[in-house]
């Protein structure tokens, strides 16, 4: 079995980002500090700490984004992507924006993209793409679905040039970090996306405002320290982009995992991503493969539980509110649901039916939801249905 994280160093980080910057002393200090952090196996912890200074709360979101980043340096991962959902103004977009700023700029794009951009631009392998309020049934959403299913090799597409057919292909190992009000993606997308629901309400609003006021007062960090930390994080992520490991889990047969096979596949990729961040503290086998340890299992398990597990039927936020309203009523019309949840007619309709054509709302996602046609339609759930998923992971 591979040595634990506190064993002697087995590898050394080599962080030399080829960046032209007028402040060469800042870059020198950042690269030097980044090498120390990587050699100590503390890349994950350092970046998360810096991110948490800049974004209030939502610790599981920051961890999930980093697990996604780690999966891009793993040659036998199917890829980990992230969806942040919730009400506007409560941090789902800010969390993604702040993490994107900590990724080496060549490997991060957080702005408007089109399907053509993804297929025809010269994007580097291992790039992170931020998506704002994505519509999963749009042309872009469909392209994201195709690309995420071809994580390692890039997604192919036939096109024409000067009346001749040519094949174009996206970059390899693209990671998508998406924010959206409601999670209305289909099963295939949910298989590879970690989902996090930002908190809202009066208490959360006060937390965010307090964080913003501390930033306004300048009591948190002076600009020079802020810039140094940014450059250190960018150097650390650059170092990861130089690496591509095949990761093995020597204790895989000892893991007791309750869930479907696709949920297990994502969980195992989380273990591999954790090992990637600590590559200087992980052994390699005779074939040159990186060996995950039980520390990686425990870190993946902790986040998996924080996120409430993962399966294709996982419900969050407003979805749970509506399902609970139907359970309370037994059989409920849309008006009953609106009264119980205090949601607007449009919001209830969007969550039930999905937005736009071929939406993936609850009536598509929840196999236990029964629609009784009529005027008005009535909704009920099968006997014994429990909307809260069970998380059971142990190591024998």
Q: Record the tokens describing residue 303, joined without a space.
A: 């986040």
Query: Which residue spans of the chain are classified as CATH 1.10.10.10?
Result: 317-381
CA distance 309 to 393: 10
Query: Whole-prediction pTM value?
Result: 0.78
**How far is 208 from 214, CA to CA, in rounded Å?**
10
For domain 317-381, the CATH class is: mainly alpha
Q: Which CATH number fits domain 24-245: 3.30.420.10, 3.40.640.10, 3.10.25.10, 3.40.50.300?
A: 3.40.50.300
Residues of the chain with CATH 3.40.50.300: 24-245
Rounded Cα distance between 71 and 80, Å, is 6
**In the structure encoding, which two tokens stand for residue 218, read together?**
């300048």
Distance CA 50, CA 34 (A): 13
> Quick one: which of 7, 23, 5, 48 has its CA closest to 236?
48
Question: What pLDDT score does 9 carry?
Answer: 46
Query: From its phi and psi, is residue 241 left (phi > 0), alpha (psi between -120 and 50) or beta?
Result: alpha
Close Cβ partners of 124 (under 8 Å, ≥ 6 residues apart) = 106, 107, 171, 241
pLDDT at 275: 97
Exposed/middle/buried for 79, CB within 10 Å: 0-12, 13-18, 19+?
buried
Q: What is the pLDDT of residue 21?
A: 53
Q: What are the pLDDT digits (tens) for 3-53?
A: 444 444 456 666 666 555 557 888 899 999 999 999 999 999 999 999 999
Residue 122 CB-half CA count within 13 A: 0
pLDDT at 391: 65
Closest to 317 (Cα-Cα) out of 138, 79, 92, 67: 92
Whole-angstrom distance, CA of residue 88 vs CA of residue 198: 10
**Owner of token pair 């029964």:** 370
Intervals of the chain under pLDDT 50 = 1-9
Contacts of 326 (CB under 8 A, 6+ apart): 332, 337, 369, 379, 380, 381
């Amino acid at each position: 079995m591979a040595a634990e994280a506190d064993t002697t160093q087995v590898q050394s980080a080599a962080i030399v980002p080829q960046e032209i910057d007028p402040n060469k002393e800042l870059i020198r200090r950042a690269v030097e500090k980044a090498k120390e952090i990587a050699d100590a196996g503390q890349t994950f912890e350092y970046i998360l700490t810096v991110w948490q200074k800049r974004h209030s709360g939502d610790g599981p979101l920051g961890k999930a984004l980093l697990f996604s980043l780690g999966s891009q340096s793993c040659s036998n991962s199917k890829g980990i992507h992230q969806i942040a959902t919730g009400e506007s103004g409560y941090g789902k977009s800010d969390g993604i924006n702040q993490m994107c700023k900590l990724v080496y700029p060549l490997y991060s794009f957080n702005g408007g993209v089109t399907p053509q951009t993804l297929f025809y631009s010269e994007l580097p392998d291992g790039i992170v793409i931020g998506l704002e309020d994505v519509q999963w049934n749009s042309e872009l959403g469909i392209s994201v679905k195709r690309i995420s299913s071809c994580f390692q090799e890039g997604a192919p597409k036939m096109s024409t040039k000067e009346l001749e057919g040519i094949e174009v292909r996206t970059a390899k190992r693209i990671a998508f970090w998406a924010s959206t009000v409601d999670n209305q993606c289909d099963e295939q997308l949910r298989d590879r996306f970690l989902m996090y629901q930002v908190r809202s309400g009066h208490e959360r609003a006060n937390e965010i405002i307090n964080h913003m006021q501390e930033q306004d007062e300048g009591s948190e960090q002076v600009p020079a320290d802020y810039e140094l930390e940014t450059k250190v994080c960018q150097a650390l992520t650059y170092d990861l982009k130089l690496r591509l490991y095949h990761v093995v889990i020597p204790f895989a047969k000892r893991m007791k995992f309750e869930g479907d096979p696709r949920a297990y596949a994502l969980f195992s990729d989380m273990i591999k991503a954790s090992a990637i961040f600590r590559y200087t503290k992980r052994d390699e086998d005779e074939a040159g493969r990186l060996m995950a340890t039980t520390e990686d299992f425990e870190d993946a398990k902790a986040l998996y539980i924080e996120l409430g597990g993962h399966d294709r039927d996982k419900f969050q936020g407003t979805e749970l509110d509506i399902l609970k309203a139907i359970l309370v009523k037994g059989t409920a019309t849309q008006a009953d649901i609106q009264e119980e949840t205090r949601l607007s007619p449009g919001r209830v309709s969007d969550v039930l039916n999905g937005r736009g054509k071929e939406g993936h709302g609850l009536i598509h996602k929840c196999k236990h939801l029964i629609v009784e046609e009529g005027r008005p339609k009535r909704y009920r759930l099968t006997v014994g249905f429990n909307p809260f998923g069970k998380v059971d992971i142990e190591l024998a």
